[in-house]
């Protein structure tokens, strides 16, 4: 994994291929990423496919992505490719498909449980910049799960939203919409 030092290298290279692309984060991290993993980033895929560029050892700067976020993105995309290959191999075998799905769900649950709320939000920004739809959908579902049945105060704190209601206005809203505050989990 990358650490906080400048020019940190992380190898995300599978045994099947040696083609890599060098990615540089905004905070100076350097990552050599396996081509199939890098092609999960639509921003890179379009760079190579739409521009007709040759996939070479070019270093690509990612101005909106930090080391920690990129290491998590690489981890997720590497595992997503593995799960995709396992799913393809299990096609037609219901038990094998179920096991792959359960393994993926277990990985995703563990992956998101490790993330603080701040890290989750930073990761969403990075994934949105890199244009990885599958991972973005997963992270947004994770945010929805974290704020489901939470108090207004918790949601405001989660998204760093300042309360601009007076206490009287807030009480009035609570009274008019009491149903919306029923069954709210403790923060």
Q: Which residues of the chain have pLDDT under 70?
A: 1-18, 50-57
- pLDDT on residue 3: 44
- pLDDT on residue 181: 80
- pLDDT on residue 54: 63
Question: Residue 149: how many CB atoms within 10 A of its CB?
Answer: 11
H or E stretch at 59: strand 59-62
- pLDDT on residue 152: 87
- pLDDT on residue 2: 42
Stated pTM of the model: 0.79
Residue 174 CB partners (closer than 8 Å, separation 6+): 181
Contact by Cβ (8 Å): 99, 90: yes
Cα three-residue angle 119-122-123, rounded to 5 degrees: 85
- pLDDT on residue 68: 96
Distances (CA, A) of 180 to 87, 163, 177: 41, 18, 6
Distances (CA, A) of 79 to 5, 12, 52, 75, 160: 25, 11, 28, 6, 32
- Residue ranges of alpha helices (H) inside 39-151 are 42-49, 67-90, 94-113, 117-130, 133-147
Which tokens belong to 37? 């993993």
Phi-psi region of 54 (alpha: psi -120 to 50; beta: other; left: phi over 0): beta
- pLDDT on residue 53: 63
Strands 59-62 and 20-25: parallel
């Amino acid at each position: 994994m990358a650490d906080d030092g400048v020019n940190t290298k992380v190898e995300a290279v599978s045994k099947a291929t040696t083609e890599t692309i060098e990615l540089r984060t905004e905070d100076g991290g350097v990552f050599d990423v396996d081509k199939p993993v890098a092609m999960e980033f639509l921003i890179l895929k379009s760079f190579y496919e739409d521009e007709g560029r040759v996939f070479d050892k070019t270093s690509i700067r990612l101005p909106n992505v930090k080391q920690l976020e990129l290491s998590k993105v690489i981890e997720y995309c590497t595992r997503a490719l593995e799960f995709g290959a396992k799913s393809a191999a299990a096609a037609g075998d219901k038990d094998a498909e179920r096991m792959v799905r359960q393994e993926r769900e277990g990985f995703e649950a563990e992956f998101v449980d490790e993330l603080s709320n701040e890290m989750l939000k930073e990761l969403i920004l990075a994934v949105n910049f890199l244009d990885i739809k599958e991972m973005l959908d997963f992270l947004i579902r994770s945010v929805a799960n974290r704020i489901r049945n939470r108090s207004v105060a918790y949601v405001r704190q989660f998204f760093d939203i300042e309360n601009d209601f007076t206490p009287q206005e807030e009480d009035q809203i609570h009274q008019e919409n009491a149903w919306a505050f029923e069954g709210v989990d403790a923060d």
